Amino acid sequence: MGGNKPVNSKPQYPDTDSSTVTDGDEPHAAFISTPALWRSGFGGKHPLKPERLARTVALLEAYGAFDGANVSRISPSPATDEELQLFHTPDYIDAVRILSAGGMPATPARKFGLGVGDNPIFRGMNEISRLKVGGGLAGARRLLAGTCSVAFNFSGGLHHARPAQASGFCIFNDVAVAIHWLLTQGQRVAYVDIDAHHGDGVQAAFDDTSRVLTISLHQDGRTLFPGTGFVDEIGHGQGEGYSVNVPLPPGTDDETYLLAFRELVPPLVRRFAPDVLVTQLGVDTHYLDPLTQMGLTTTGHIALFEELSALSPGKWLTCGGGGYNLDVVPRSWTLAFGVMSGQEFPDALPKEYRDRYGGQWLRDREGPVLDERSRSRIRGQAEETVAEVRERMGL
């Protein structure tokens, strides 16, 4: 089963495609990827395995997902210092560069959250982390140029990183950099984060502005990293009322999650009327994810991807995020790209993928086992949270 070998045998796709949005119903979807993204990572025992990216691309290729006329593949360029400085501090950027090459920065690595706990230092982390940020920027530029209507930076979504701090497996915050860049272009941005963990780094980045609406749905911070994301975190100053948090109980299943999502996200995003929708599609809400206790299946994920697609104002920058079950992540993100590009893939996994990675079906045929009493308790708690958020947001 698997390995970290690049599976992309097709030619490189230069960061210079000049395709234009096609007429018709299907959106022009750009998929942002290069094998350099999964050449190395935090190391063998770390839960964030680069193989999740390789497998996702392998599954999409096996389905022929990139063959359509309305689909393009973009190979990102690494973000420059100037681009990183849209969000990160120069001393942090320098420290990542020095540590990545095996050197010692003037300030100890641990002061930047590197080399401790969740964020071990590895050779090449500077280059890989810059590519992930460059992917978000490549997508954002194409959306504004009108060469695509949705861009999937599937290796991004590193929503915990702070200006001078690595956190929760995130070194550079591709989302915050891309949104800052969109702001320099005069855009209003709605950000929706469906990762199981609170999108704390992105929320903090835009906490005091009314030009970015951030909405995060996640497992209750009393039970999961990073321990924040409560309903009373609503933003400060000009940004008051532009941060929205929806903490959900462990065990939340498709039905309860979708109820909370549909009650809150569409009305909030429509009222805000963004120019660009940015989303973080972490799939660690899946019931088989080893790091969280949420109870979603691919059925819920598909419904969420469709809901988000319907909210796009015609410019949708979307990125990956968490997801630590290697059998789940490729399937969920393949289904996501299917929604983005208007493709419906057969349920039987392609033979070449199955032979290499195992599995049988694209969509889950089983789900979590939850007794009726727990289900109704979880639903009751979620309904209370929804009511409180609606009141705070004046819905």
Find the residue with minimal CB distance to Zn ion. 322
Q: Which helix (H) or strand (E) holds 30?
A: strand 29-32
Q: How far is the CB of 305 from Zn ion (least distance, A)?
A: 17
160 vs 331, beta carbon nearer Zn ion? 160
Q: How many Å apart are CA 313 and CA 296, to the nearest integer?
A: 27
Q: How many Å apart are CA 119 and CA 133, to the nearest integer?
A: 17
Residue 160 annotated in active site: yes
DSSP-assigned letters across all residues of 11-27: PP--TT----PPSSSSP
Alpha helices in 347-371 (DSSP H): 351-357
Q: Which helix (H) or strand (E) holds 276?
A: strand 276-280
Q: Give the contacts of 2 (CB within 8 A, at least 6 positions apart).
A: 51, 54, 55, 326, 356, 357
320 vs 368, beta carbon nearer Zn ion? 320
Residues forming the site for Zn ion (CB under 5 A): 195-197, 282, 284, 322
Q: How many Å apart are CA 370 and CA 26, to the nearest integer?
A: 38
Q: How far is the CB of 117 from Zn ion (least distance, A)?
A: 15
**Which DSSP state fits 222?**
T
235 vs 322, beta carbon nearer Zn ion? 322
Q: How far is the CB of 199 from Zn ion (least distance, A)?
A: 9
Q: How far is the CB of 66 from Zn ion (least distance, A)?
A: 27
Q: How many Å apart are CA 179 and CA 86, to the nearest integer?
A: 9
Q: Which of 159, 160, 180, 301 is catalytic?
A: 160
Residue 229 CA to its chain's centroid (Å): 17
Q: How far is the CB of 168 from Zn ion (least distance, A)?
A: 7
129 vs 216, beta carbon nearer Zn ion? 216
DSSP-assigned letters across all residues of 278-314: EEE---TTBTT-SS---BB-HHHHHHHHHHHHHH--S
Q: How far is the CB of 229 from Zn ion (least distance, A)?
A: 11
Take residue 90 and report the two structure tokens written for it. Answer: 């120069």
65 vs 158, beta carbon nearer Zn ion? 158
274 vs 322, beta carbon nearer Zn ion? 322
Catalytic residues: 160
